[in-house]
Structure 1
Amino acid sequence: MSSTIKVEKTCQHCGKKFITQKTTTKCCSHRCASAAYKQRARNAKVEAVIQKENEQKPFNPIVTQKEFLSVKETCQLIGASRWTIYRLIDAGSLKASKLGSRTIIPRTEINNLFK
């Protein structure tokens, strides 16, 4: 059986008025429905990225008490990327030592960097 009901609606994507036989129809055509779906998918991805940025790892308070810091801890402390820290070490602006394969940076050098 087909419905004889006629419902006038406004397309959620383009805003054009159209007549439908279903109460659940939201778009006037397949083209508008596809475009609306793509827009919803795009918005969901943007929201996911924004949410991920807001969920950044909390600052480790132990970092502020250590005498020697790793490169990762130095990044957290001064808010720079790992590669920036390595560039500062290579340029001689930041003195660091190697302990095996691990690079450690004295806190005094970090403080001297900003003086």
Structure 2
Amino acid sequence: MSSNISITRICQHCGNEFTAKTTVTKFCGDDCAKRNYKLRRKTAKLQKMNEKITESNRQTQLVRDAPKMRLLEKEFLSVKEAALILGCSDRAIHLMISSGRLPAINLGIRKTRILRAELQRLFELPELRVKPVQKVKLVEEPLSKENCYTVEEITKSWGVTRDSVYSMVNRKKIPKFQQGKEIYISKKHIEKAYRLAKGGGK
């Protein structure tokens, strides 16, 4: 019994629409089916070849790095060996030794030896220590009668009551001292307090 189903599908090779008679048909015809098969075989071969090339490159790199890896197992290195590990010239190693950047031991003519651990220390970041900022303490001038007002002088100068003076001194913690019955209040601090209170700025 023949099927009368007609399904519009997209050819997975050429991308054109075609009418299929089954839901699993992938290609519009035999030509596209054959071409796609050849393409898939070619792609698979290329992928396999790329995998072989990648593995070959990896093996080559292992062989190339083998001398360096053996050097990493040695505790003491010559200048040439240190240069090979760092990928630089012998001259660069000698310059680092002469500048003190790379510690080394001279055992005689052409017998300079470098501790492998010293090469690793070249790449260690120095510890940054932030020096704490010391706060500068302002030395206050000691209070005396010369740099202070009496309460009565303040009431006359600023036209305020004695109670308001005491309130301002306590609220702003203004320096003061008492001698006998008289209270002396810092001129600098009380003047600043009243200027600010009256909106006169600093």
TM-score (ref. length: structure 1): 0.49
TM-score normalised by L of structure 2: 0.30
